Structure 1
Amino acid sequence: MVGLKHAAGLCLALSLIAFVAGADAASLQPQEVRITDAELGSSLTGAPGDPVQGAKWFKSRKLGNCLACHGNKDLASEPFHGEIGPPLDGVADRYSEAELRAIVVNSKDVFGPETIMPGFYRVLEGQRVLKDFQGKPILTAEQVEDVIAYLNTLKE
């Protein structure tokens, strides 16, 4: 009987290891994300993002559209920088990666429900949402990590 308990414990331990390893390989789903103290320390994908792709999502008028609200000298050649949000020059000096991830994932959890900034990795229920984004986040987990990687390049 002791051997059976030991075997069951070993199976449980191996299952937990497999679960954790699998969780690192797969993207965290929006409903699984937990922002604590305005931070989200772990990558949504378990891998670092690509800053070149992040700049693409940042300036895309069909996805991130960050330039609609935020000025950014790094993308000065792009038209129509907004002035609603603060300029993002030097943002990596003001916020940690964990804070930036929390802001991009769900700014409402960081700045409060009154902020105009959308949460890019949450599913909006019962709100007016573009048809293309109904029931899904604006950015994928990989795109969020790419944007975070790009924002981390913006230093004074």
Structure 2
Amino acid sequence: MKLHITTAIAAVACATSAWAGEIAPTQVAFDDGQVAQSLSGAPGDPVSGREIVGSKKLGNCVACHAVGDLSEVPFQGEIGPMLDGAGDRWSEAELRGIVANAKMMFPETMMPAFYKTEGFIRPGNAYTGKAADETFGPILAAQQIEDVVAYLATLKE
């Protein structure tokens, strides 16, 4: 009896940690472009998300999108829609899906998939001119996606 209880407790602990842990890019569940479950298992930090959106070395979202809240960032893009009001236009699940892989919601978009590691045609190894190697990963980590989503959700009209 004691062995069964210990086994049951261990099984519940494993299931709970697997649910709360990070979801691999190949395991993301899209539903009409939306991703309901957190990719990292932790809430996003809008302050970190703001930094990622405005950083030309991280998300580089401002290469294509303008964000009024980031007025200190020069040369914002006009290719994609303005992100002001994104928190009103899209739900958290929609924002997560768009940032993870916008093509799942908008098949014709030119926006890159920030949380994808498969299905590319000839991926390269950063700016080296060489083929991808074992270090090839998503553009943003799971927690960075959650941070960006948390920030975008704060952008209201």
Q: In 1, Cα distance between the equivalents of 2:123 and 2:79?
A: 20
Richer in helix (by share): 1
Q: In 1, Cα distance between the equivalents of 2:101 and 2:12?
A: 29
Aligned residue for 1:119? 113
What is the TM-score of this pair, normalised by structure 1?
A: 0.85
- Number of matched residues? 149
Residue 146 of structure 2 corresponds to residue 145 of structure 1? yes
1:61-120 per-residue CA deviation (whole Å, 9 max, x = no partner) reads 1120000000110001210110000001001000000000000001111111x3110110
What is the alpha-carbon root mean square deviation over aligned residues?
A: 2.2
8 Å CA contact 2:26, 2:118 repeated in 1: no
8 Å CA contact 1:35, 1:109 repeated in 2: yes
* Structure 1 residue 19, shift from structure 2 partner: 3.1
Q: In 2, Cα distance between the equivalents of 1:89 and 1:128?
A: 34
8 Å CA contact 1:24, 1:45 repeated in 2: no
1:5-84 equivalences under 5 Å are 7=4, 11=7, 14=9, 16-84=11-79
* Structure 1 residue 128, shift from structure 2 partner: 4.7
Q: In 2, Cα distance between the equivalents of 1:42 and 1:62?
A: 27
The percent of aligned pairs where both chains have the same amino acid is 49
* Structure 1 residue 151, shift from structure 2 partner: 0.4
Letter of the 1:131 counterpart: N
Deviates more, 1:95-104 or 1:126-135: 126-135
Give structure 2 stretches of 5+ with no counterpart: none
8 Å CA contact 1:49, 1:142 repeated in 2: yes
Deviates more, 1:13-22 or 1:93-102: 13-22
Letter of the 2:100 counterpart: V
Pair member with larger Rg: 1
What is the TM-score of this pair, normalised by structure 2?
A: 0.85
Corresponding residue to 1:102 among 94, 97, 100: 97
